[in-house]
């Protein structure tokens, strides 16, 4: 009898201890501690938009970095950033379940630390499946059908004339019709190559020429003229021209293109399907405490309904710009992204253009769907880097390029305010034939 009483006292003791923890930790006892990234910054800085949302929402938020000033907020057109990047899955209007968000960060913090965007998916009837996708782009110009008469594609036919008697050598390329010249072709000094093969550049790039071509070779020697025909592999992949977070965060198709990650919530948080918030917990009998304790352990220790997009230091990747990670753009879409969007328009049959639906290369994307892949909620996130800290501390949407301040520093005027190129800057971009272009491709080093 004494043992039974002591056991009951012990259970009650644990139960009261948990109750105290719940009351101290806010409305959701199982929530992760709110990540506020301004612990080492002056108290005058506005951190309203920097608080991690509670876990009963679908949300995306940056993981805090000590001393780094960062905000994640719902996109606005002007003013401050008051709204968190979160979706109420119970919202009746689809428009309320489809949001655009921005994570704000300073340029050197982004280069040195990188970024970790965490996302939370609550157990909800509208979200039995989750898709996640990270941004990517053409680092080098790649072959693609653009709907024109002479699209930027690999040559389908190559004809080589090698007259060794006269010392003449030439090579020409055509499209599949065998007559229309293909300009995406390089031939000189007895050698030829597909124009989208960057291996002979300095520094060397990838081979993005995919598929086979018909090679006709006419050779003239003292023994006469011979003609040979062969089927030759360009030996590359169009996906080799890609770069961006998705190439390391997402699996890839056989052609080198990233594919979205799909996961089933019941497989991730099966024991959490009936999870209750602290306000819903019945305080008797004591068995309810045991159930709650088990579910709390499942969520907090295993973090089964949490995911993240994490990219480390860009310096460590030997990159010289923030373009790899800072996917924020305004105005027209930069060509490395737009050409990728156009690529899928022609490569996939109508109705199956899954790029725009599930693989938009411009954003970090989280999708909630039902079991037949109908979308119930979507969050898309861009990362914007700021060149100067005073402007970022105002926590206000730029209306006159306050995020992209140029010119030189005040105290040390020999140093620029703008230290790293992002997608708002066009310098350093070039096309397949190395001609400069304000809407071209970043190439080596990004």
The per-residue pLDDT of the chain, averaged, comes to 83
SS3 state at 343: helix
SS3 label, residue 250:
coil
In the structure, what pLDDT confidence band is assigned to residue 120 with cuts at 50, 70 and 90? very high
**Phi-psi label, residue 178: left if phi above 0, alpha if psi -120 to 50, beta otherwise:** left
What is the mean predicted confidence (pLDDT) over 318-322?
95
What span, in angstroms and rounded, lies between the C-alpha atoms of 76 and 74? Answer: 6
Helix (H, G, I), strand (E, B) or coil at 244: coil
Domain that holds residue 194: 157-237
Inter-residue contact 198 to 183 (CB < 8 Å): no
> In this predicted structure, what is the pLDDT of residue 269?
54
pLDDT of residue 32: 35
Predicted local distance difference test score (pLDDT) of residue 27 = 38
- 32 assigned to some structural domain: no
Any domain includes 260:
no
Residues of the chain above pLDDT 70, percent: 79
How far apart (Å, rounded) are the C-alpha atoms in residues 49 and 75?
A: 11
Kindly state the DSSP code that residue 403 receives in the 8-state scheme.
G
In a domain, 427, yes or no: no
Which pLDDT band, with edges at 50, 70 and 90, does 229 fall under? very high
Predicted confidence (pLDDT) per residue in 241-293, tens digit: 999 999 999 999 999 999 999 988 877 655 443 333 333 333 333 333 333 33
Checking if the pLDDT of 314 tops 50, the result is: yes
The per-residue pLDDT for 305 is: 60
Q: Identify whether 163 is part of a domain.
A: yes
List pLDDT tens digits, range 408-444.
999 999 999 999 999 988 888 888 988 888 889 998 8
189: confidence class by pLDDT, cuts 50, 70, 90? confident
What pLDDT was estimated at residue 263?
87
14: pLDDT strictly greater than 50: no
Mean pLDDT of 161-187: 96
Mean pLDDT of 18-36: 38
Nearest to 104 by CA among 49, 54, 29, 144: 49
**At residue 13, does pLDDT exceed 70?**
no
Distance separating alpha carbons of residues 356 and 345, to the nearest angstrom: 9
pLDDT at 9 over 80: no
Residue 303 in tokens: 């973090």
HEC assignment per residue over 147-182: CCCCCCCCCCEEEEEEECCCCEEEEEEECCCCCCEC
SS3 content of the chain, % helix, strand, coil (to 5): 20, 25, 50
- Minimum mean pLDDT among 50-54, 56-60, 192-196, 290-294: which range? 290-294
Confidence of residue 354 (pLDDT cuts 50, 70, 90): low
Inform me whether the pLDDT recorded for 178 exceeds 90.
yes
Average pLDDT over residues 167-187: 96
pLDDT in the model for residue 115: 97
- Would the pLDDT of 24 be above 70? no
In this predicted structure, what is the pLDDT of residue 123?
87
Percentage above 90 pLDDT, the chain: 64
Answer whether residue 445 shows pLDDT above 70.
yes
Contact indicator for 360, 133 with CB cutoff of 8 Å = yes
At residue 22 the predicted structure's pLDDT band, cuts being 50, 70 and 90, is very low
Instruction: Please report whether residue 232 resides in a domain.
Output: yes
Per-residue pLDDT at 65: 92
Tokens for 33? 């501690």
Predicted confidence (pLDDT) at residue 98 exceeds the cutoff of 50: yes
Asked, for residue 167, whether it belongs to a domain, the answer is yes
pLDDT at position 31 over 90: no
Distance CA 129, CA 122 (A): 11
Strands 212-221 and 157-163 come out as parallel
Q: Are 281 and 177 spatial neighbours (Cβ–Cβ below 8 Å)?
A: no
Taking the C-alpha atoms of residue 138 and residue 355, their distance in angstroms, rounded to an integer, is: 14
In whole angstroms, what separates CA 342 from the centre of its chain? 18
Residue 38 has pLDDT above 70, yes or no: no
Given a contact cutoff of 8 angstroms between Cβ atoms, the answer to whether 193 and 186 are in contact is yes
Using the Cα atoms of residue 117, residue 122, residue 127 and residue 129 in order, give the sign of their dihedral: positive
Cα–Cα–Cα angle for 265, 135, 260, nearest 5°? 35
How high is the pLDDT of residue 355?
Answer: 65
- According to DSSP, the residues that pair with 62 across neighbouring strands are 117
Residue 331's pLDDT is 87
pLDDT at position 48 over 50: no
Q: Is the pLDDT of residue 159 over 90?
A: yes
Residue 128 lies in a domain: no
Residue 179 in any domain: the answer is yes
Number of domains into which the chain is organized? 1
Given pLDDT bands bounded at 50, 70 and 90, which one contains residue 353?
A: low
CA within 13 Å, CB half, 386: 23
What pLDDT shows up at residue 345? 82
Q: What angle do CA 188, 190, 192 make, to 5 degrees?
A: 60
Distance CA 293, CA 214 (A): 68
Q: What residues have CB less than 8 Å from 137, skipping those under 6 apart?
A: 242, 243, 244, 334, 336, 337, 340, 361
Look at residue 351 in the predicted model and tell me its pLDDT: 65
């Amino acid at each position: 009898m004494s043992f039974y009483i002591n056991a009951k006292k012990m259970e009650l003791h644990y139960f009261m201890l948990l109750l105290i923890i719940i009351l101290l930790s806010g409305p959701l006892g199982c929530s992760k501690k709110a990540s506020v990234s301004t612990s080492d910054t002056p108290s005058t800085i506005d951190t309203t938009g920097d608080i991690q949302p509670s876990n009963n929402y679908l949300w995306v938020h940056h993981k805090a970095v000590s001393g780094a000033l960062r905000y994640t907020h719902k996109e606005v057109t002007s003013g401050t950033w008051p709204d968190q990047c979160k979706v109420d899955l119970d919202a009746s209007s689809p428009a309320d379940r489809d949001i655009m968000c921005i994570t704000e960060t300073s340029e050197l913090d982004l280069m040195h630390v990188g970024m970790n965007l965490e996302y939370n998916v609550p157990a909800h009837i509208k979200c039995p499946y989750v898709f996640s996708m990270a941004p990517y782009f053409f680092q080098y110009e790649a072959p693609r059908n653009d709907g024109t008469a002479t699209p930027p594609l690999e040559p389908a036919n190559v004809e080589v004339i090698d007259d060794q008697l006269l010392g003449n050598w030439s090579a020409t390329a055509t499209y599949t019709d065998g007559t229309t010249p293909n300009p995406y072709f390089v031939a000189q000094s007895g050698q030829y190559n597909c124009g989208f093969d960057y291996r002979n550049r300095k520094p060397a790039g990838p081979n993005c020429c995919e598929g086979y071509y018909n090679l006709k070779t006419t050779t003239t020697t003292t023994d006469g003229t011979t003609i040979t025909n062969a089927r030759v592999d360009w030996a590359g992949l169009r996906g080799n021209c890609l770069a961006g977070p998705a190439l390391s965060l997402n699996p890839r198709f056989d052609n080198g293109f990233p594919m979205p990650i799909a996961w089933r919530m019941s497989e991730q948080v099966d024991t959490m399907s009936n999870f209750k918030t602290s306000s819903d917990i019945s305080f008797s009998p004591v068995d309810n405490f045991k159930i709650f304790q088990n579910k709390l352990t499942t969520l907090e220790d295993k973090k089964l309904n949490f995911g993240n997009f994490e990219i480390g230091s860009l310096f460590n990747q030997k990159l010289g710009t923030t373009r790899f990670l800072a996917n924020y753009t305004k105005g027209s879409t930069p060509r490395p992204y737009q050409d990728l969007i156009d690529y899928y328009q022609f490569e996939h049959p109508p109705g199956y253009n899954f790029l725009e639906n599930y693989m938009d290369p411009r954003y970090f994307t989280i999708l909630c769907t039902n079991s037949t892949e109908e979308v119930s909620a979507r969050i898309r996130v861009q990362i914007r880097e700021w060149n100067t800290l005073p402007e970022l501390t105002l926590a206000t949407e730029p209306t006159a390029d306050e995020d992209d301040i140029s010119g030189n520093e005040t105290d040390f005027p020999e140093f620029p305010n703008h230290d790293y190129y992002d997608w708002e800057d066009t310098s350093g971009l070039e096309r397949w034939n190395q001609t400069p272009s304000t809407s071209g491709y970043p190439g080596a080093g990004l």
